Structure 1
Amino acid sequence: MKLIATVVAVAAAFGIAGPAAAQTKLKWAHVYETSEPYHTESLWAAEEIKKRTNGKFEIQVFPASSLGKETDINQGLQLGTVDMIISGLSFAARSFPRIGVGYYPFTFRDADHQYKWSMSPAFRELADGYKAKTGVHITALTYYGARHTTSNRPIKHCADMKGLKIRVPDVPAYMAMPRACGANPTPIAFAEVYLALQNGTVEAQENPLPTIEAKKFYEVQKHIILTGHIIDGVATQIAPHVWNKLTDEEKKIFTEVTQEAARRGTKIVEQREAALAEEFKKRGLTVTEVDRGEFQKAVLDKVPMESMGYVKKDWDAIQALK
């Protein structure tokens, strides 16, 4: 009995306990609102991973930039301050430019085209290249929506954007279309966009319709211009200090669950997107259709993909997907 008591005391002193101590707590961060599918489906995935690993992983999801702006949480994967994130691949492209090829304007036809790419060998080659540079492992890609332009001035043609001060994320791909049309792209953190529009720091921005709704940008903008210039996606990413410690079975679970969450989220975004143009009209905004070919020509002429660090064979592989 004395021996048992001594073992228990030593175990307690060194923090060694029974099965409960084996639980691993993870932080999953993103910049989206709690109402958006990137959050709701992350909550589902966190619970599903816990269930499928018999409670080993307790994942807490931190929404709405609560653990930092998008640049911060991307850096956090390598610093060890966050364990998982959902973020645009445009940020990954800072370390491995080729992976940003899908952000070149007018690359994807629709969400299905993007999904086929995310499950293809061509995408895995790029994800592996990013992992080789950073150690970060990408498990899934969720459709974020077709990016459209909102403004306080009417826009019908590419030339109408000349001199327009438009907020874009701080990555070159998002600046391509505005620059090609003569606008003045201004990087501002996502969490600060509403205030910047409200106080006139910028007069326009671009985002998918569900994001325009979730962030209430329609309250401080008069026009929605359906440029559809980028079919956007956000990637579920796992830090190397987590991924490298997972067993093969755990890696399979994390991959399957996050891919299922991505499909669920994509479906929600597509359904919401389909209804929003009419809803914005009812709210008093002017919704304008444009000739996207005109905008695409300006991009091809003035901002070639090679100038952004993209490789044409990667773009061609996307176009070849049917």
Structure 2
Amino acid sequence: MKKMLSALLASLMLLSLAGCGGSSSAPAQSSPAPAQSAAASGDVSSDPKVTLVYAEVNPADTIVGQTAAHFKERVEELSGGSITIDVQYSGVLGSENDVLDAMLGGSTSIDMSRISAFALNSYGAQKSMLLSIPFTFENRQHFWNFANSDLAAEFLNEPQELGLPLRGIFYGEEGFRHFFTVDPISGIEDLAGMKLRVSNDPIMNGMVQGLGAAPTVVSFGELYSALQTGVVDGAEQPIANYKSNAFNEVANNLILDGHTLGAIQCVITDNAWAKLTPAQQEVIMQAGRDTQEFNAGLSESAENMVLDELKAAGCNVVEVADKSVWADACKTVIEENTKSQAELYQKILDLK
């Protein structure tokens, strides 16, 4: 009788453990990240196939071009092939403004784009405007302190707060932006009276005016010929973009003033987002986090290599020992464009 009772109790204990999901001595296992879990189990790979068109105004060999390629690779890998990213390089889908106009206008021909952080200024994004204020970021680390902070998520979510049909995915950077000119220059004083190309952006216009030059709006696709024909005397770009677009062929003088960091972000339309399953949406966000880290490791080393190549090719590269003179010249545009968001701007400055 005792043996039967013992056997019965043992059976009941085993049934109880089975009902609780396993042995009480088995270690608890933490759940993997949603995207990794879905990909590993095949859930995402069996989701409906989606192709997302990604617009990039610069060539594939630039920092932003390589960033787009990495994002494509990670999305397709994490999704098990259920998401394809079709990257269209070299501005074949139009300038940044053309692309943004199309995306915000409800076009379904472009799903994603890499844009300059200041590109949304014209569409009412006041927070994003702070990232384009001259001499905000002291160095790259200062920017990455921002990009990896809780503050960055607030900035990425701004389009949604404004009711724009876009959402931010990740931040990156393409190096500090510098002026380059057709005629040789040695300092800030040589910019006086020059026609310098700008995009249609009030901060950039104000900065160029503060430096004593004349802001001249020219589309990026027409900049090479504008420099070649004298429509403009100079422009500004990150170093890698300056070389990859062959601007040194027509404006071989580069002054390293580093007036703004080329902060970038990747955005996706609400239409494209709605085409994705929740698991695929998490794939996009995970790939964005991975790509942001990739960009941080790529940008400085790639830029230094390009600068060495430019010098070796005979580019007249001028170092700027004291940037305070440049910052002082931009004082008015800095103050006018930060006073309405002074507290938020100070939070960015404090992250240095």
- Normalised by the size of structure 2, how large is the TM-score? 0.80
Contact 2:50 2:276 (8 Å CA) reproduced: no
C-alpha distance in structure 2 between counterparts of 1:303 and 1:40, whole Å: 33
C-alpha distance in structure 1 between counterparts of 2:46 and 2:312, whole Å: 54
C-alpha distance in structure 1 between counterparts of 2:147 and 2:274, whole Å: 22
In the TM superposition, residue 275 of structure 1 has moved relative to its aligned partner by 3.4
1:114–1:318 CA distance, 2 compared to 1 (3 A):
same
Question: What's 1:107 paired with?
Answer: 136
C-alpha distance in structure 1 between counterparts of 2:165 and 2:339, whole Å: 21
In the TM superposition, residue 176 of structure 1 has moved relative to its aligned partner by 3.3
Match of 1:296 among 308, 327, 330: 327
Q: State the one-letter code of the partner of 2:329.
A: A
Q: Does 1:243 align with 2:273?
A: yes
Contact 2:134 2:334 (8 Å CA) reproduced: no
Runs of 4+ in 1 over 6 A off after TM superposition: none
Q: State the one-letter code of the partner of 1:262.
A: Q
Q: Does 1:41 align with 2:62?
A: no
| 1:279 partner SS | helix
Q: State the one-letter code of the partner of 2:140.
A: A
In the TM superposition, residue 231 of structure 1 has moved relative to its aligned partner by 0.9
Question: What's 2:202 paired with?
Answer: 172
Match of 2:111 among 63, 71, 83: 83
Q: Does 1:60 align with 2:89?
A: no
In the TM superposition, residue 310 of structure 1 has moved relative to its aligned partner by 6.0
Match of 2:159 among 130, 144, 147: 130
Question: What's 1:233 paired with?
Answer: 263
In the TM superposition, residue 111 of structure 1 has moved relative to its aligned partner by 2.2
Q: Tell me, which stretches of 5 or more residues in structure 2 are unaligned? A: 1-44
Question: What's 1:156 paired with?
Answer: 186
C-alpha distance in structure 2 between counterparts of 1:311 and 1:150, whole Å: 31
| 1:34 partner SS | coil
C-alpha distance in structure 2 between counterparts of 1:249 and 1:309, whole Å: 41
Contact 1:34 1:40 (8 Å CA) reproduced: yes
- Normalised by the size of structure 1, how large is the TM-score? 0.87
C-alpha distance in structure 2 between counterparts of 1:240 and 1:205, whole Å: 34
Q: State the one-letter code of the partner of 1:297.
A: D
Deviates more, 1:264-273 or 1:160-169: 264-273
Contact 2:174 2:263 (8 Å CA) reproduced: yes
Match of 1:25 among 48, 51, 61: 51
Contact 2:254 2:317 (8 Å CA) reproduced: yes
Contact 1:172 1:308 (8 Å CA) reproduced: no
In the TM superposition, residue 149 of structure 1 has moved relative to its aligned partner by 0.9
In the TM superposition, residue 163 of structure 1 has moved relative to its aligned partner by 0.8
Deviates more, 1:246-255 or 1:158-167: 246-255
C-alpha distance in structure 1 between counterparts of 2:79 and 2:232, whole Å: 47
- Residues 85-114 of structure 1 show CA distances to partners (whole Å, capped at 9, x for unaligned) of 001121112221221201100001222221
C-alpha distance in structure 2 between counterparts of 1:65 and 1:309, whole Å: 35
Question: What's 1:11 paired with?
Answer: none
Q: State the one-letter code of the partner of 1:294.
A: V
C-alpha distance in structure 1 between counterparts of 2:48 and 2:73, whole Å: 17
Question: What's 1:5 paired with?
Answer: none
Question: What's 1:318 paired with?
Answer: 348
- Residues 254-307 of structure 1 show CA distances to partners (whole Å, capped at 9, x for unaligned) of 11212322332332221122234443232222221222100101111x323434
Q: State the one-letter code of the partner of 1:26.
A: L
Match of 1:194 among 220, 224, 239: 224
In the TM superposition, residue 197 of structure 1 has moved relative to its aligned partner by 0.8
Percent identity between the two aligned chains:
24
In the TM superposition, residue 39 of structure 1 has moved relative to its aligned partner by 2.3
- Residues 17-72 of structure 1 show CA distances to partners (whole Å, capped at 9, x for unaligned) of xx989211211111010212322332332232123223221221111111111111
Question: What's 1:120 paired with?
Answer: 149
Match of 1:209 among 239, 250, 259: 239
Question: What's 2:16 paired with?
Answer: none
C-alpha distance in structure 1 between counterparts of 2:92 and 2:319, whole Å: 36
C-alpha distance in structure 1 between counterparts of 2:138 and 2:338, whole Å: 21
Q: Tell me, which stretches of 5 or more residues in structure 1 are unaligned? A: 1-18
Deviates more, 1:194-203 or 1:147-156: 147-156
C-alpha distance in structure 1 between counterparts of 2:85 and 2:339, whole Å: 35
